[in-house]
C-alpha cells in the first residue's frame, strides 16, 4: 500500500486515554491505479485489531470526509506530533480540509453520532450497577460531549480542535451523565439550537478540491501493466 497520511486518533488524540487504553491509528492510502481497471476493484479499507489500525483508500476517505464523518475528519486536524506518516499528498489533503466542510453534513454527522451515543447510554442504564457497563456508559457520555462540542466548534468557527483543552472536565461530565443519562438531553437540545443558527460553513462542501487531489493521486500511482500475450499476438 502507498500510505499518504496516517496518525494517532481516538482517546490518545483527545487526551482522554488512561492506562490500558488502546492506541488507535487512522490513515489514507492510494491503491495502484491499474488495480481499478480489472473485473474487481481493490479493497477500500484495511482494518486490523492488533494493532488497532484503519486505512481507507483515498477515494473512500474523501467520500467519508465530504459526508462529515467525525472519525475520518480527525485525520486532517491532528496536532503535529500525532502524525506518523506525512507525504506531499498527505500535506495537500490537510491543506484542503476546510473545503470538505458543509453546514448540513457537519450537523447531521456530529449531532447524529452524539444522538447514537445517547441511545446507547439509555439502553445500558439497567445494567449500570456492573462496573463494566458503568465504564461503557461513561465512555458513551464522554463521546457525546466531545462530538457535540467539536460539531459546534466546526459550525461556529470552521476549525476543529482534536486535543481537548480540559479532558478532566469531559471525564467528570461523563461520570455525571452516566449517573442519570437524561442529563444529556439538555446538552443535545442546546447543540441542536446552535446548529439551527447561521454559522460560518457553506451549506454544502466544495467537492472540486478533493476531486482534483484524487485525480492527481491516480495519475501519480499509475504504472501501465505489460501488454498481454493475446493482445501482442493480435
Considering only 19-23, 80-84, 95-99, 125-129, which range has the smallest mean pLDDT?
125-129
- Rounded to 5 degrees, φ, ψ at 139 are -65, -45
Domain boundaries, the chain: 2-100+206-229, 103-195
Q: pLDDT tens across 26-85, in order? A: 999 999 999 998 889 999 999 998 889 999 999 999 999 999 999 999 999 999 999 999
pLDDT score, position 227: 57
pLDDT score, position 51: 83
pLDDT category at 233 given cuts 50, 70, 90 is very low
CB atoms within 10 A of CB 177: 25
| Reported pTM | 0.91
Per the prediction, the chain carries an average pLDDT of 93
- The CATH number fitting domain 2-100+206-229, selected from 1.10.3470, 3.40.50, 1.10.3120, 3.30.460: 3.30.460
> d(Cα 31, Cα 29) in Å, to the nearest integer?
6
Q: How large is the average pLDDT for residues 150-154?
A: 98
Amino acid at each position: 500500500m502507498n500510505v499518504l497520511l496516517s496518525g494517532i486518533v481516538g482517546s490518545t488524540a483527545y487526551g482522554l486515554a488512561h492506562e490500558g487504553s488502546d492506541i488507535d491509528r487512522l490513515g489514507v492510502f492510494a491503491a495502484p491505479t491499474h488495480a481499478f481497471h480489472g473485473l474487481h476493484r481493490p479493497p477500500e479499507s484495511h482494518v486490523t485489531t492488533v494493532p488497532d489500525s484503519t486505512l481507507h483508500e483515498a477515494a473512500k476517505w474523501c467520500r467519508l470526509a465530504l459526508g462529515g464523518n467525525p472519525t475520518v475528519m480527525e485525520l486532517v486536524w491532528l496536532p503535529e506530533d500525532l502524525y506518523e506518516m506525512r507525504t506531499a499528498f498527505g500535506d495537500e489533503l490537510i491543506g484542503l480540509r476546510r473545503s470538505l466542510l458543509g453546514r448540513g453534513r457537519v450537523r447531521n454527522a456530529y449531532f447524529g453520532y452524539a444522538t447514537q451515543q445517547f441511545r446507547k447510554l439509555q439502553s445500558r442504564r439497567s445494567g449500570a450497577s456492573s462496573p463494566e457497563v458503568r465504564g461503557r456508559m461513561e465512555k458513551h457520555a464522554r463521546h457525546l460531549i466531545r462530538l457535540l462540542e467539536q460539531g459546534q466548534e466546526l459550525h461556529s468557527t470552521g476549525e476543529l480542535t482534536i486535543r481537548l483543552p480540559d479532558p478532566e472536565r469531559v471525564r467528570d461530565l461523563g461520570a455525571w451523565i452516566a449517573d442519570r443519562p437524561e442529563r444529556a438531553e439538555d446538552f443535545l437540545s442546546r447543540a441542536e439550537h446552535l446548529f439551527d443558527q447561521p454559522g460560518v460553513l457553506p451549506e454544502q462542501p466544495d467537492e472540486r478540491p478533493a476531486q482534483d487531489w484524487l485525480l492527481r493521486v491516480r495519475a501519480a500511482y499509475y504504472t501501465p501493466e505489460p501488454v498481454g500475450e493475446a493482445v501482442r499476438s493480435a
